[in-house]
Structure 1
Amino acid sequence: MRPFPARGLDDRRRIYNYRLSRARRIVECAFGILAQRWAILKTTMKLQPDNAKKVVLACCILHNFVRRRNSESGDSASASTGNEEALEDAFQPQNVGERSISSTGRPTQETIEVRERFANLFTTSFAVSWQNERANVR
């Protein structure tokens, strides 16, 4: 997903950009953790995109399996917040990754609408108390 352009941002879009940036940092950290455990993720994969997706998914599944097994033996594991399914259900455009950019290089209407829905969601039911201060919103 892309942030909204910096010019003329309203509070809702500024919050979206902040939350997107924060999510990207978390994903980068998570991928770094996976890459430390699974060497295939440390280098360029010379695979077709569909096969690369399968490899990454397999690494995620194995990582979760190992964490779950370790938590049963006394190690700590993170708990689910329960919000993941709500987000997944609300934003299920079909194959958005494959159709996110039109042949002209511009985002499709569908991806623009998804970004707007996230912006609305982050200022309503998924708003958090600290986001306005961190996103420099009044």
Structure 2
Amino acid sequence: MYIDVGAYGKSSDSAIFQQTDFYKKLMRNTLNIPEPLQISENSTTLFPYVFVGDEAFGLSTNVMRQFGGNNLSVDKKIFNYRLSRARRYIECTFGIFTNKWRIFHRPLNVHTELAKSIVRTCCVLHNFVRARDGYSYDDTLTVTGFETITQRNFTRGGRAATTTRDNFMNYFVNENPLSWQNNCIN
């Protein structure tokens, strides 16, 4: 697990992300991500390991984001649906975390260094409790709201990033479709 603590809540997620060592290593290809692999028996296409971002994040070969726009093809809508399913898990994880550690239901009115310590401590304790006790349904009963982030304009990640996203789209549509995905995009 990787955490980077210390950014102000007023900053956008993407701006915070771009200031982290994690992002810098990701962009320099020094993050030690496993090599791309073939995920389909029907294709020799290699798929890189990717992180899921929302509209505020830039597209890269290792960061996937949805297609933008209103008049999207069915295939692009399906890709967006499948990516949003993955993002839902991320949002639920934060909801579980904040429900377990209710100190995050309100602003932390403490000095910056103490706030960093509180966040780090809760992350360590959260992992310890989950390893010791396993999953708890009670953690998921109250989901807190998430702040809406402002969209930032990023340059596209180039041809390799676009190709990677298109490869995932084709995989979701043609090689590994969910039986209900077409119903969910209409």
TM-score with structure 1 setting the length = 0.51
Structure with greater strand share of residues: 2
Pick from 108, 111, 114: which aligns with 2:157? 108
Pick from 83, 87, 90: which aligns with 1:27? 90
Aligned partner letter, 1:134: C
Q: Give the deviation of 1:19 after TM superposition.
A: 1.7
Pairwise CA RMSD? 3.6
Where relative contact order (Cα < 8 A, 6+ residues apart) is larger, the structure is 1
| Count of matched residue pairs | 100
Aligned partner letter, 1:66: V
Q: Give the deviation of 1:69 after TM superposition.
A: 2.3
How does 1:38-53 map onto structure 2 within 5 Å? Answer: 38=101
3-state DSSP class of the match of 2:68?
A: coil
Quickly say closer, same or farther: Cα 1:106–1:130, change in 2 above 3 A: same
Pick from 68, 74, 80: which aligns with 1:11? 74
Q: Give the deviation of 1:25 after TM superposition.
A: 2.6
Aligned-residue identity in percent: 39
Distance across 2 between alignment mates of 1:27 and 1:64: 15
Structure with greater helix share of residues: 1
Gaps of 5+ in 2: 1-52, 54-64, 138-151
Aligned partner letter, 2:99: Q
Q: Give the deviation of 1:64 after TM superposition.
A: 4.7
Residue aligning to 1:67: 130
Residue aligning to 2:178: 128
